[in-house]
Structures are given as C-alpha cells and as structure tokens.
Amino acid sequence: MQCEMCGQEVPICQKVKVEKTVMQLCSNCMRFGNEVAQKTPSRPVTPAVVSQRLERRESRPMFRDVFETQDTGDSMVLDFARKITLARNSKGMTKKEFAAKINEKLSVVHKLERGELNPDDKLMKKLERELGISLKEKVSDVKVEKRAYNTNLTLGDFVKKEK
C-alpha cells in the first residue's frame, strides 16, 4: 500500500483522521493525526435472517397497476370555455360582474372564456353553482388493455377510440 501523505510504499497503512480528513497513513505519518477506530458490526447477520428477508422481498409485488384502481367517473367537458361564455351571456352578466359574483379576478374570467385556464375543482364548483351548468361529464368509453409488465407501452395501448 502507499501512504496518502508521504507516498511511501509500506505493507500496512492505518486509517487516521488528520484535520477532519480520513487518510490511509504509514506508521511514520500517523503522528500527525488521530487513529480512527475500526467499526465492528453490532450483531452479525445470520443466514436465517438473510433468507427470511429474501423470501419477504420475493413475496412483494414488483409493480403496481395504477389503472386497476383508477376511477373513470367524471371528466371536464372539452368545450368548457364556450359553455361558460354562453351561460354568462344568457344571464346577462358582464365579465366584470361575473368575476365579482364568483370572487375571482377579471383576468381569470378572461382566461377561462378563452380556454387558456383549466379550472380546478374549487373554481369549477363556483362556476357550476353561479351559472347553473355542469362542466363535468361521465367518462365511460375508456377501456384499459392489460399487457405484460415488461413490454413497452404507449398511450394508444390504454385508450381505445370509438370507430
């Protein structure tokens, strides 16, 4: 082995801490630091423990199918911007009045009606309550095709379009 401080080739080097750095040093250079105590295992790992852990690892599922628990319930309608605009106009409200009624900024209403902002659940409830419309629709035509885990999947594998 080679001493990390002086570079001398020696048969045995010891771990020594010199100014917060642990180094492999020869017996001559050891005087510049403090010897680091060798860690001893607190308790040896027995073969029985190893085999038990391997059995538990094998019994765990290797992957989780996220589509098994997916709820294909409600989804936002695609033309929500047009629906919001038509409902607001039919109630005879300006964008400014509508923004005040739902307690949102005018810029939010502008973005909603242009389709630049997808409303979150809280905002969607406000819109539905104030305008008396539904911005959600039932999704029932999505079918999930199960395939082997190790094959490459695409979005087309999951969504089946109606012909």
The token duo for 95 is 């964008």
pLDDT for res 36: 83
Show the domains of the chain with their CATH numbers: 1-36 (no CATH), 74-138 (1.10.260.40)
pLDDT at 144 over 90: no
Q: If you count them, how many residues does the chain have?
A: 163
pLDDT for res 67: 58
What digits encode the pLDDT tens for the residues 64-97?
A: 666 555 555 677 888 889 999 999 999 999 999 9
pLDDT for res 127: 92
The dihedrals phi and psi of 23, each to the nearest 5 degrees, come to -135, 160
